[in-house]
Amino acid sequence: MLQIYFGQKVNCFTFVKSESKNVFMRNAISAIDRYYKLSAQSKDLVIQEFEEVRMKKGEVLIHENIRSPYLYFIEKGAVKNHYIDEKGNKKVVWFGFEGNICFSLNSYIDMDYIHETTELLEDSLFYRVKINHVKALFKDHCDWANWGRCFMESVFINTVLELDEFKSLTSKEKYMKLIKSNQNVKERVPLKDIASYLGVSPVTISRLRKELNEL
């Protein structure tokens, strides 16, 4: 049984066969693969810097007003991102699962516009790497520079969707789009968080589920 501690560097893998390493980190590695095709050698430049982080349901991974210097790759677990809107209400804007990356946009691109907190929906295991380490790779490694380019394009598309596209949809359309985008949402996210994400009451979600024969 592999022992994992908060913040421990994964040097323990140094003498483990590459395939075994890939089994333990399968979802974190899939998060890298999602954005740009990198050689195994290039990927190792990040994987060898991975630190393991385990946290409990309800704990906060990234605080909205504190810059976080890491990219966190979700190996196992679920998170939600939320912010406090102008009326003081907590508004959920994103759900993350295995193979997603959690990070502070303000830290990543040095701006000060998006203040979101990342909170755990389940006990979770992350592999984290310093943003500065990845940015150093961008400078000298063409494939990592392209990874950064494609990663940013993906972040852009998701943020535009989050901020804009949803506005013109009905609650039912939003709900269907959300659950279609990721089966995990329906199975692993509490009703109240789905309601907050859609900007409706939990009762409305129950009604929608009934309409859609989900209950």
Interface residues with its own copies (CB under 8 A) are 86, 109, 111, 113-114, 138-142, 145-146, 148-149, 152-153, 155-157, 159-161, 163-165, 168
Q: Which is nearer to its own copies, 114 or 176 (CB)?
A: 114
**What minimum distance in Å lies between the beta carbon of 192 and its own copies?**
24
Distances (CA, A) of 211 to 12, 92, 206: 51, 24, 9
How far is residue 69's CA from residue 108's CA, in Å, rounded to a whole number? Answer: 8
Q: Which is nearer to its own copies, 19 or 112 (CB)?
A: 112
Instruction: Give me the amino acid identity at 201.
Output: S
Q: Which is nearer to its own copies, 17 or 139 (CB)?
A: 139
How far is residue 44's CA from residue 29's CA, in Å, rounded to a whole number? Answer: 10
How far is residue 215's CA from residue 213's CA, in Å, rounded to a whole number? Answer: 6
Q: Which is nearer to its own copies, 159 or 184 (CB)?
A: 159
Closest CA to 118 of 174, 91, 79, 165: 79
Closest CA to 49 of 31, 70, 68: 70
How far is residue 196's CA from residue 190's CA, in Å, rounded to a whole number? Answer: 10
Closest CA to 34 of 185, 150, 158, 181: 150
**What minimum distance in Å lies between the beta carbon of 52 and its own copies?**
28
How far is residue 209's CA from residue 180's CA, in Å, rounded to a whole number? Answer: 13
**What minimum distance in Å lies between the beta carbon of 169 and its own copies?**
11
**What minimum distance in Å lies between the beta carbon of 34 and its own copies?**
15
Q: Which is nearer to its own copies, 146 or 184 (CB)?
A: 146
Q: Which is nearer to its own copies, 155 or 176 (CB)?
A: 155
**What minimum distance in Å lies between the beta carbon of 10 and its own copies?**
27
**What minimum distance in Å lies between the beta carbon of 50 and its own copies?**
22
